[in-house]
Amino acid sequence: MPTVHVLPHPVLCPGGMDFEGRRGTSLCEGMLRAGLAIEHACDMVAACATCHVHVRQGGASLTEADEAESDQLDNAWGLDAQSRLACCVRLGDADLVVELPRHTRNHAREQ
Ligand code: FES
C-alpha cells in the first residue's frame, strides 16, 4: 500500500500527516478516510476543482490527467505543473508527497 505524506497546511493539517492509501482508490477518498477535510464540492466527479492538490513527489508514477481533469484544473487556484485533482488521482504502489493549496476555488482559506 502506498504511503501518502501530506505537507503541513495551516488549516487542514498544521502538522502534516501520513496515511496508508488503498491501491486503486482515489487520493481524495484516502484523504477523507484519513480524516483530512479536503473540499470535494462536486462529490468527486471531476466537475469542481475544489480538490486541487500539488503532487510534489511520486507524480510520475500516476496516470496522466485526462481531458475532464485537465479542463477542471484550468479553474484551480495556484495551478502549477504538479497540479492534480485529488478525486482523479488513483493510488498505485508508489508513495506520494502532496501539498494542499492555500486557496480553493470555493473559499479563501489563507491563514
Ligand atoms: S471533488 Fe470536484 S473535482 Fe474533485
Residue 110 has pLDDT above 70, yes or no: no
pLDDT for 28-70, tens place per residue?
Answer: 999 999 999 999 999 999 999 999 999 999 999 999 999 999 9
Average pLDDT value over all residues in the chain = 92
Q: Which of 87, 25, 19, 20 is nearest to 53 (CA)?
A: 87
Distance of CA 91 from the midpoint of ligand 1 (Å): 16
For cell 485526462, the residue is 66
With a 6 Å cutoff on the Cβ, whether 87 touches ligand 1 is yes
Beta bridge partners of 18: 5
With a 6 Å cutoff on the Cβ, whether 83 touches ligand 1 is no
Q: Is 6 helix (H, G, I), strand (E, B) or coil?
A: strand
What pLDDT, on a 0 to 100 scale, did the predictor assign at position 106?
65
For ligand 1, atom 3, which residue shows the shortest CA distance? Answer: 46
CA 48, 68, 44, 10 torsion-angle sign: negative
Q: Is 67 helix (H, G, I), strand (E, B) or coil?
A: helix
Q: Which domains, ranges and CATH numbers included, belong to the chain?
A: 3-99 (3.10.20.30)
Q: What is the dihedral of CA 102, 27, 76, 70, to 10 degrees?
A: 160
